[in-house]
Structure 1
């Protein structure tokens, strides 16, 4: 299965990368106060409490050449060879990771991509003529389906480092990320509360309506992950109608009232006004001209922030769609007709809501997560950035 991304993380992108989720250099404004070196140290610390061998991968797009490939432990870039049909096996890009209680430092090059890690066995990557085939665990035939793994997404370029803890595709092996800046301070995100790993799965399984179907287990019965709800719908694990009640109520409300979207925090006078007419929500600008329209979305469009809620990288439809996506997932569109709603205390309060995202955020130590594609609306995402990065870190946390 060939994988592209549904999401655009951190900042609006000029183009989506093939690897998905990483940033392209074109999307980032230069704010660097000092020259960012070609590589920075990335320290992997294994606090998982597990005895499995850990494998680490640094996979992405080399920003100097625009080519896709992987980096070894020294930060040296290796382009992928040509792939085939059917897909051919990719070269082994794994780095032997640290044992429990130990750390390993590798060099992170200027990439837009992902740092994968797996427990117990290596991941399987394949190549087509179009590029890399990445794990797609919503597909039961994916060779990585029964492997415990996870990943972080990052971009390191001349403007600095952006690195996240992501749950956009799944919630799985717990980890946190960090960056140490030139001023000596360290920013981290992604740690769960004590008991948060088990708490997440318990909370999801306790929800009615099929949410427990997102949980996937290994042949021995151990928990591997919970699929994000969009992937759950794709896999038939979650009913496609799971958000219909809320979507219908939103549609009814804005048939007779107006939804105001102010998509840019630094442009408070830029407002768009949404009103439903039949199966379409039309948005007008301050002059009354229709600037874009959205067909009534389904749950998959809401969870994936795509299809009927597509968000192109422009200055009108994309920003409005991002705001709608956040409002639908957080179920704030009925309680606040001025969006985006930045008050997290009102998120996920409707009986029909994104229970997966709710559980993820509730179990995060700092409350931040990337539980859906545009969880960065209002700055609720699990992302750290520094324009003069000295070190990066990934910490594998306990499964408690």
Structure 2
């Protein structure tokens, strides 16, 4: 297991909207099991308690339990599992004021450990991870005084299908994450058929069960995807903007805030309207693009971070050559180049609403699978059929 503590990025989606009414201490969440799979389901509500900043888990009633002190090597965590609904059944739990993850697993409980820095997450790109052969997935959420944000995510892997939803005070419900008919098996079939090593992302258990497809950054880490899979596109981008300008308008509500990128000496420098250089980027490798980090690091500031987010989205969607004004307003031209993030392309193609979190900044342009309400009455996770 990778020694990484549990974190979530949901609060980075934007400033919370003012609450319409006082958000209660807990909100009901109903799991509906439409998976068609026999055997037990286990649920875990893990994260950071917002009132104290402590890491821990919540039980089915929403009560918080802090993790005990961990060790090095990591020590077994307390059993935080909640028995989930059988196929065709539902189960309602309570979500506390948390920023964390809702894990669910089929057939077996997940193996969590605690280190001196907190909870260790499953890292299934590592074949020795104790959760490698377990079929599982997770949703990320934040519930605070300004409401509930909950998503379906494929940032780390595409696995057991599910959707999320939230019910507002007026009785309306917003949901996202459902696949098109045949979308689950269709995704794996399409990924396996892509040339260039993309089939290596698929992980299958010895009994033939398809467990997941790793996100491409994890695939590179595991040696399952060539490290240079995006190099040709990056080289063409660097060549184009050696003699032309890339304009980035990172804030949709600030159309006059623009930055101008040109490549000089192998470095893409961005200037503001006064011509002053505000940040620079080395030519990114594929892993930097897929992870939106390293050479495309995006600090939580008002200049480099927003520019990097936009660049990252443009590289993953392969729009930087076709549109010198970023980000793109619509998705019609996404993933059209032969060199692109095929994993993200195939996920978006198979989502019923076209929305997904297939890479870290898939929310650039609001293409993410996220629902939010400032006065949530009920939340939902639906475990969808695999066929």
Name the TM-score class by shorter chain: over 0.9
Residue 252 of structure 2 is matched in structure 1 by 265
Task: Quote how far apart the aligned CAs of 1:85 are.
Answer: 1.1
Q: Which residue of 2 aligns with 1:86?
A: 73
Kindly tell me the number of residue pairs found equivalent between the two proteins: 387
Q: How many Å separate the matches in 1 of 2:7 and 2:178?
A: 23
Q: CA deviation digits over 1:212-255, x for unaligned, max 9?
A: 00000011121000000000000000000100000000000000
Alignment TM-score, normalising by the size of structure 2: 0.98
Say which of 90, 100, 103 aligns to 1:103: 90
* Equivalent-residue separation in structure 2 for 1:161 and 1:247 (angstroms): 38
Q: Aligned runs of 1:188-203 on 2, under 5 Å?
A: 188-203=175-190
Give the distance between the partners of 2:75 and 2:310, measured in 1 at CA. Answer: 40
CA contact (8 A) 1:22 1:114 kept: no
Q: Is 1:135 aligned to residue 126 of structure 2? A: no
Q: 1:27 to 1:193 in 2, by over 3 A?
A: closer
Matched, 1:321 2:308: yes
Q: Deviations over 1:48-69 (max 9, x none)?
A: 0000210000000001111000
Deviations 1:302-360 (A, max 9, x none): 00000000000000000000000000000000000000012201000000000000000
Superposition TM-score, scaled by structure 1 size: 0.95
Write out per-residue CA displacement over residues 182-226 of structure 1, whole angstroms, 9 at most, x where no aligned residue.
Answer: 111100000000000011001101100000000000111210000
* Match in the other structure for 2:62: 75
Q: Which residue of 2 aligns with 1:33?
A: 20
Partner of residue 20, structure 1:
7
What is the CA-CA distance between 1:278 and the residue it aligns to? 2.2
- What stretches of structure 2 of length at least 5 have no aligned partner? none
Per the alignment, residue 269 of structure 2 pairs with 282
Instruction: Provide the residue aligned with 2:241 in structure 1.
Output: 254
Shift of 1:301: 0.1
Q: In the alignment, is residue 205 of structure 1 matched against residue 192 of structure 2?
A: yes
**Aligned residue for 1:374?**
361
Question: Are 1:356 and 2:343 counterparts?
Answer: yes
Do the aligned residues in 1 keep the contact of 2:3 with 2:115 (CA within 8 Å)? no
Task: Give, in angstroms, the shift of residue 31 of structure 1.
Answer: 1.2
Q: Is the 8 A contact 1:25 1:63 kept in 2?
A: no
Tell me which of 8, 33, 48 is aligned to 1:46. Answer: 33
CA drift of 1:26 comes to: 11
Q: Distance in 2 between matches of 1:347 and 1:23?
A: 24
Q: Does 1:176 align with 2:160?
A: no
Residue 395 (str. 1) matches residue 382 (str. 2): yes
Q: Residue 330 in 1 paired to residue 317 in 2?
A: yes
Q: Which contiguous aligned blocks of 4+ residues in structure 1 show a shift greater than 2 angstroms?
A: 1-4, 20-30
1:116 aligns with 2:116: no
Aligned counterparts of 1:391 and 1:175: Cα–Cα separation in 2: 17
Q: Does 1:147 align with 2:134?
A: yes
1:56 aligns with 2:43: yes
Aligned to 2:373: 386
Which stretches in structure 1 are left out of the alignment for 5+ residues?
5-17
For 1:355 and 1:81, locate their aligned partners in 2 and report how far apart those are by CA, in whole Å: 41
In angstroms, what is the RMSD of aligned CA positions? Answer: 1.2
Give the one of 230, 241, 256 matched to 1:243: 230
